[in-house]
Amino acid sequence: MPWYRDLEPADLVPGALAVGWLGREHTFSTGTTREEVFRRLRQLFVDPFQPLVTAGSHGCTLCQFEPERRGTANLFVPGQGVIYVCPELILHYINAHRYAPPPEFCEAVLKCPDTRTMEYKKLFLANGGRSLLHQRKTPVTYVLAPGVEREIVRLFASDDVDYVRTRLAAQELPMDQHAPPPRVHIAVIWLSKGDRTRFDHELNGASGDWRDTLGAAGLANSDWREVLMRRGVDLSGFEAP
Ligand SMILES: [Zn+2]
């Protein structure tokens, strides 16, 4: 599951603020959460309205040895001029790991109508949900090559792997046939050196013009396959001119 600081824009769901996207390697606020907030959240997760489908099921990484809970759904909670998005695992984080979500989010949860009602839809649209709905058109373009997947897992912290994967798959690159995605993907990954901020920077750069990206990673010349092989990356099966 991607990690976000609470109330940071969740760029996997543009237009929404993240709450409860925790990860083992990051601190989070703890304390007592009002039980009614927990119970209301649980009700809302019975049938959450999910205008955007985000990929896959995620296990809790805070559990010491193995995840006791997994989650797939996300919930959108309208606040004061904002939409919060929280993952299903937030219930487990509160109950088992004493996670304390931000107070403004708790207030919004208590005020949140059932998700299938007109009242919910009105609140959702009035507080920023409209722009969020428009994101649905964004196509997810690339299936990542196995060699790319392996480099992500090798170089990034486990909390960041899904984030990197999802962004690479969704970020359209201005490609012509001479530089299809896997080569550029590897270049972005190498230049990021496992650092998420740097990854965002490199991916933004590559989405404008990837030639500098390839150059900086040493993959601009015709020997790029050999360079990859020397570093243990096998992109065979991927045809390029
Ligand atoms: Zn856990």
Rounded CA-CA distance 221/184 in Å is 13
Q: Are 87 and 21 in contact (CB under 8 A)?
A: yes
If you measure from the C-alpha of residue 240 to the centroid of ligand 1, how many angstroms do you get, rounded to a whole number? 44
What would the pLDDT profile of 22-32 be if each residue is shown by its tens digit?
Answer: 999 899 999 99
Q: Are 77 and 44 in contact (CB under 8 A)?
A: yes
Ligand 1 centre distance from Cα of residue 95 (Å): 9
pTM: 0.59
Q: How far is the CA of 91 from the centre of ligand 1 (A)?
A: 10
Residue 112 CA, ligand 1 centroid: distance in Å? 26
pLDDT above 90 covers a percentage of the chain that reads: 60
Ligand 1 centroid from CA 97, angstroms: 6
The rounded Å distance from CA 102 to ligand 1 centre is: 19
Residue range 56-84, pLDDT digits in tens = 678 899 999 999 999 888 999 999 999 99
Ligand 1 centroid vs 127 CA: distance in angstroms?
Answer: 32
d(CA 224, CA 217): 10
Tell me how far the alpha carbon of residue 11 lies from the centroid of ligand 1, in angstroms: 24
Q: How many angstroms is it from 69 CA to the middle of ligand 1?
A: 6
Segment 133-160, tens digit of pLDDT: 766 544 556 788 889 999 999 999 999 9
Number of Cβ within 10 Å of residue 182's Cβ equals 22
